[in-house]
Every structure is written in structure tokens, then in C-alpha cells.
Amino acid sequence: MTASGGPLAGVRVVELASLAPAPFGCMVLADLGADVVRVDRPGGPGAGRLAAPTGGPLQRGRRVTALDLKSPAGVEDLLRLVERADVLVEAYRPGVTERLGLGPEVCQTRNPRLVYARMTGWGQDGPLAQRAGHDIDYIAVAGALEPLGRAGERPHAPLNLIGDFAGGGMLLAVGVLAALLERERSGVGQVVDAAMVDGSALLTAFLHGLLGTGLWAAPRGRNLLDGGAPFYDTYATADGGHLAVGALEPAFYAALLTGLGLADEEDLPDQYDPSGWDELRRRFTARFAERTRDEWTAVFEDLDACVAPVLTPGEAHRHPHNAARGTFVEVSGEIQPAPAPRFDRTPTALPTPAPDPERDALPVGEILAGWS
């Protein structure tokens, strides 16, 4: 990667330190070239509560300062940063920044062009706005958790990818970018209310389309994309590895049968006849168990069958496609996902390591001097 700064070079972001979703959104902004300054509490970003990680990919690309936002001096220092910032990101419960004297009205009085981005689980209003929660709760209420899991089993949360990161941090970044673009027309900023329950619901748009047309009518684990179809599932291999199979279209399905050596078996059930899915799954399961994951990967290497090895996070960077594209990068000896997407004219730079709050904390005056 060449160090041009990325398409958001020159955008100034003040981030009030928090956990997972907002740091991920700010990581995306920093990856794209924004100058992100994280404001920690005295003693570190997690002082007084569940500790926020001070290193790793979610905290990369930042500068850091520490302010006591319960003191008048700390509030005034933050407002001095706000005066010269483009974006403020906070992830407190609704009303907390107002009680600190740092709510949108105060901040946008000091800087009318400020985009004030708020990251919460339940949103700024509604019956649950003041309730605690985590990813699993937000995706449950959004209707994104119930469809996930095997037939006859309880719903299974897919890590915290849907609520915290896709429906949370990524939605926050999209909201900030949209508000910055609109500001170019209006000249003024606005408040972005990014709620994980809203974002998780948004991610189910395709599923709602299937529901509306009757194409998602079976119980959990019995539908086309939830492990119900034997040609859209994962299979164990002889060495304990797994293959992912996504042979939805007839041409890909035909290639799958070819690779498995089943193309000439005339008694195979029809691909899209659900009454034969259990039999197809039995045959696929038995056949995949005959070879290792890497042996099957080699079999399907030249077949357009939508079959891929299931890689662990620690293996993914070594896959030839990921290696060729630079999908992962090394930052201070740690393998991390590379910034995305990619830009031909304003490419992003290699991310800088996460700052150490004790070693790298900067005085507010030094940050402001660079923002003059």
C-alpha cells in the first residue's frame, strides 16, 4: 500500500473511548485516512468499568489523549477539540453526555459544522433506550438471531459480528460519511443516531423479502440459506476440517456433483426437492468424509462449484487469494485485516499501531496545534 492518506485525509474525528462497536466504526474512519483522536479517561480507556482493550486492530490508526470529563477543565478541553473537529463519536447511554455538559446542543453551538455521532444498542429513544444490553440482545429483538442455528436446536449467536460490528460500528461509519457529504451542501452538521438494534434489523432486509414472498416459510434450519439445503452447508472432512458448499445454481451444483464423483448416480434426488434433501446430505456427508480438507480443496480448485475450505482466523492470511490481494497486513508483528474498500486514486496507508495510553498520550494543546 502507498501512504497517500486515504480518501478521508483531513477529516478530524474525536472519539470518546468505549467498547467494540464505536471503536470499530472509528477504526474504519481511521483506515480511510481520518485523523482520529481517542479521548481516554484518566487511568486508561476502561478505568472504572469493564476494561476497553488498549491495543489490537480496533484501536489502530489513532492518536490518544486523556481527559477527566467530570471536571470543568476536562469538559472545556474537549470542547476546544470539538471546535476544530469534523466529527465527535460517543457511545454512552442516552443523556450521559448532556449531563456532562457535552451534548449535541452544546457542542454544535461551539461548532455548527460538527457531525455528532451517537452509538448505542437501543437508540436514543424508545422503551428500551436506558436499558443495558449486548450484541446478542439487540439481534434478538431485531429478529436477526432467531433464524440462526440448526434444525431442532436453539438459536446460535454468530460471535458478535451482526450487532456490534455490522449493525453497529459499520452503520456508524456509514452514518458519519453520509452526514459529512450532506454537510458539503448545507454547511451544517447534524446528529447521527446509530443503534445496533436498527442496524441489525437493516441487515435482515433480504430475509424479509424472502418472508414476504413465501420463500422462507420452514422452521429454523430447514430453509435454503440456513443450513437446510444440502448444497448450501458445511461438511466435515477426514482430518476434522470443513468445506463450505454454496452450489445454489444448477451449473454450480452440477460441478459439485462432478467433484464429489456423484454426477453419474442416477438415483440422486432432485436438487430443489426438499423431500430429498436428507438423502443428498447423507451422501455428501459420507463422500466429504473420505478425504482431508486440503485434498478436497485441490479437487475443487479448477471446478466452478462454489466450494471453499473453512479456514481458521489464523489461517486466512495464508490463503493464496488473500495473500495475492493483501487482504491481511502485518502491523507491529500482528496480522490484521487490511483497510477496505480500496481506492485507485487515494489509496489507504498501512495502519499505524494502536497507541499506548501511558506512553503515547498527548496534551490537548499539542493536538490543537496540529489542527490549526
What are the residue numbers of the active site? Answer: 134, 164
Instruction: Report which of 312, 352, 310, 313 is spatially closest to residue 330, judged by C-alpha positions.
Output: 352
How far is residue 86's CA from residue 239's CA, in Å, rounded to a whole number? 53
> What one-letter code names the amino acid at 78?
L
Q: Which residues pair with 65 in a beta bridge?
A: 39
Return the SS3 of 98. Answer: helix
Distance of CA 15 to the CA centre of its chain: 18
Q: Which residues contact 279 (CB under 8 A, 6 or more apart)?
A: 269
Cell of 322: 488473500
- Cα-Cα end-to-end distance for the chain: 29
Cell of 137: 440482545
Cell of 335: 496480522
How far is residue 31's CA from residue 5's CA, in Å, rounded to a whole number? 9
